[in-house]
Amino acid sequence: MPNIPTPESTIFFVCDLQTRFQPAIYGFDQVVSTANKLVKLAKILGIEVLATTQYGKVFGPVDPGVGLDTLGPLHLGTFDKTLFSMVVSEVVDILTARPHIKHVVIFGIEAQICVLQTTLSLLSLPNPPVPYIIADGTSSSNTFELPILFERLRQEGAVVTTSESLGFQLVGTSSNPKFREFSQYVKDYKDSTTLAGEVLLLGKAPKTEQEASATNEQTA
């Protein structure tokens, strides 16, 4: 029987998406856009979210474009760290208090460092959840790292997926009471989803959402 994520069994981890890293990270704006999309999904489905910052005293807070402030009590906190892994003591306490959590969705930066080490830390827990890595919401300062990282993560036991695929998996069925709202959400994020995929997964040069929208209209 496949281990299928549901809103009740899932938590979202936002990894170190701090504005100060923007100049160094390939497709940073697209990662933030996908993170904001997933925060909106969490709000629709009632999924709890936590975030981390890497040495916030120096590198500052989470980019405001992520939209954590829209979550209300679903935002469990933003925890500063010096570890590369997100699995600091506060995060362990949160997971321990929620034994029903079987799936951890991870997105952010930097792929081959903090995202990888977070995944390995989760898999080493006594009752490890299944890590889900959002490929169109994860990046690095070096683009060549990404395919190598994703293959490594699969070998370790993580699931590498996309924001849209995960969203439909969490909703599960068109009879879900949230499906109408979710369907509109998919339409609202269509252009930004395409742009993030083209930049982060296909390696195309970044362009604005307005340019992407114009291209989609021309080819429709």
User: Tell me, what amino acid is at 133?
Assistant: I
Q: Which position has the token pair 């990662």?
A: 31
Task: Please state the φ and ψ torsions of residue 135, each to the nearest 5 degrees.
Answer: -65, -35
DSSP string, 44-72: HHT-EEEEEEESHHHH-SB-GGG-GGGSG
Distance between CA atoms of 175 and 113, rounded to whole angstroms? 40
What Cα–Cα distance (Å) separates residue 162 from each residue in 16, 70, 171? 19, 22, 14
Tokens of 23: 């100049």
Residue 34 zone, left/alpha/beta (φ > 0; ψ -120 to 50; rest) = alpha
Distance between CA atoms of 39 and 151, rounded to whole angstroms? 26
Report the alpha-carbon angle 182-7-172, nearest 5: 55
Catalytic residue among 15, 43, 102, 114, which? 114
Asked if 190 is an active-site residue, the reply is no
Asked if 69 is an active-site residue, the reply is no
Catalytic residue among 16, 63, 136, 191, which? 16
Asked if 114 is an active-site residue, the reply is yes
Catalytic residue among 15, 29, 43, 81, which? 81
Q: Which are the catalytic amino acids?
A: 16, 81, 114
